[in-house]
Amino acid sequence: MNLDEQEIRALFEENYEFLKVEGGHVVTDFVKEQAFQQVLWYWKKNRAIAERVTETEVHLVLPECRSPESGIRYSLEGVVDIVREGEETWMYDLKTPERAAIEANLDSYRAQLNVYAHIYKGLRGNELDNCALISTALPQGLKAAIRSGSAEGMERELAGWDPVIPLGYSEEEVEAMIEDFGRTVEAIEAGRFEAPPPSRLKEKEEGERNIFAWKTCRNCDIRFSCPSFRAHVRGEGGNSSFRRWLDDYGSESSPEDFIDGNLREEE
Ligand code: SF4
């Protein structure tokens, strides 16, 4: 498949129109252009893998799981891509955080992929040699180079971008992971939804640019009734600050990207 930028733009527009009709969501031109740039540069970097995908959007289901204490029945589901390369078969899962943020939580990602591998290989009887994550987020350096329009900078940043994180595959952690999911199911069924303490909302994960409140809470549907979020916002500037947050309906892009984008438009 030898797509040029114009063809990718046409496919992107077609897909956007479809999603608009199906989901009823519309985004600003700025956010739409950011999304297109992400698709375009993702394709430039990962084209070799994308062209070798042998099974795409493979839907994996582990039915009839039982939670460890109450025996509640639940199913685990996931969607992955499968690539056969010569003698080897790899399973890929796409993740939106930047590589550094993924690497800071590698154990939980590995455990999740091991469960998918267990379903694909152990239960379905397919060949599988390795698992890997692909970070779809464009690195900050590449974003800056795109904004500056420097062809040399873009080439350099693209060459230095390594979005594939091999994880290996082990059956050992599968049972523990399924049990962990089961405990989460039990907490949900029992209505135990404790928010983290307000101090957690000020923290920044390794590799992340934004604190938890900006990155996660800002897009959380229950933030206005969450005591930790309210405490965090009041701590930032009292009740007037909370009123300001009440008018904030979340971000489609990070605040820094939005500011950068608008500064550029002013230039
Ligand atoms: S606002 Fe949502 S994400 Fe943030 S602490 Fe509360 S429940 Fe968790």
Measured by CA distance, the residue closest to atom 5 of ligand 1 is: 195
230 lines ligand 1 (CB under 6 A): no
68 pLDDT above the threshold of 60: yes
Question: CA 212 to CA 8: how far, in whole Å?
Answer: 34
Which residues contact residue 242 at a Cβ distance below 8 angstroms, ignoring those fewer than 6 apart? 230, 233, 234
Asked whether residue 155 falls in the same domain as residue 214, the answer is no
Question: CA 113 to CA 174: how far, in whole Å?
Answer: 9
* Mean pLDDT, rounded, for 85-108: 86
Asked whether residue 188 falls in the same domain as residue 60, the answer is yes
Highest mean pLDDT: which range of 46-55, 104-113, 126-135:
126-135
Interval between CA 168 and ligand 1 midpoint (Å): 32
217 lines ligand 1 (CB under 6 A): yes
195 lines ligand 1 (CB under 6 A): yes
The band of 122, judged by pLDDT with boundaries at 50, 70 and 90, is confident
pLDDT of residue 154: 93
Number of folded domains that form the chain: 2
Q: Which amino acid, 130?
A: N
On whether residue 21 sits in a domain, the answer given is no
Out of 192, 215, 250, pick the residue that ends a domain: 192
Contact 130, 91 (CB under 8 A): yes
Residue 146 or 104, more confident = 146
| Angle subtended at Cα 92 by Cα 203 and Cα 9, rounded to the nearest 5 degrees | 85
Asked whether residue 69 falls in the same domain as residue 173, the answer is yes
Asked whether residue 174 falls in the same domain as residue 156, the answer is yes
Span 235-254, pLDDT tens digits: 766 556 666 666 665 554 45
- For residue 22, give both structure tokens: 């199906």
* Mean pLDDT, rounded, for 143-155: 91
Asked whether residue 182 falls in the same domain as residue 205, the answer is no
On whether residue 145 sits in a domain, the answer given is yes
- Tell me which H or E stretch contains 86: none
Asked whether residue 88 falls in the same domain as residue 168, the answer is yes
Of 72-76, 109-113, 208-212, 230-234, the least confident: 208-212
pLDDT of residue 228: 93
pLDDT of residue 131: 93
User: Residue 149: which domain range?
Assistant: 51-192
By residue count, the chain amounts to: 267
Interval between CA 229 and ligand 1 midpoint (Å): 6
Out of 192, 222, 242, pick the residue that ends a domain: 192
- Residue of 111, 77, 113 lying closest to 92 (CA atoms): 113
Asked whether residue 131 falls in the same domain as residue 184, the answer is yes
Out of 167, 192, 217, pick the residue that ends a domain: 192
147 pLDDT above the threshold of 50: yes
Contact 98, 139 (CB under 8 A): yes
Asked whether residue 184 falls in the same domain as residue 221, the answer is no
Based on the number of CB atoms within 10 Å of its own CB, is 211 exposed (0-12), middle (13-18) or buried (19 or more)? middle
Instruction: Report the relative pairing of strands 73-85 and 164-166 from DSSP bridges.
Output: unpaired
- For residue 79, give both structure tokens: 């969607």
pLDDT of residue 134: 93
pLDDT of residue 2: 62
245 lines ligand 1 (CB under 6 A): no
Span 192-233, pLDDT tens digits: 888 999 999 999 877 677 888 887 888 788 888 899 998 888
Give the DSSP letter string of 13-43.
HHHHHHHHHHH-----HHHHHHHHHHHHHHH
Cα-Cα-Cα-Cα dihedral sign, residues 22, 28, 33, 34:
negative
Residue 145 or 172, more confident = 145
On whether residue 127 sits in a domain, the answer given is yes
222 lines ligand 1 (CB under 6 A): yes
Asked whether residue 99 falls in the same domain as residue 187, the answer is yes
165 pLDDT above the threshold of 90: yes
On whether residue 76 sits in a domain, the answer given is yes
| Mean of all residue pLDDT scores within the chain | 84
Of 5-19, 38-52, 84-98, 240-254, the least confident: 240-254
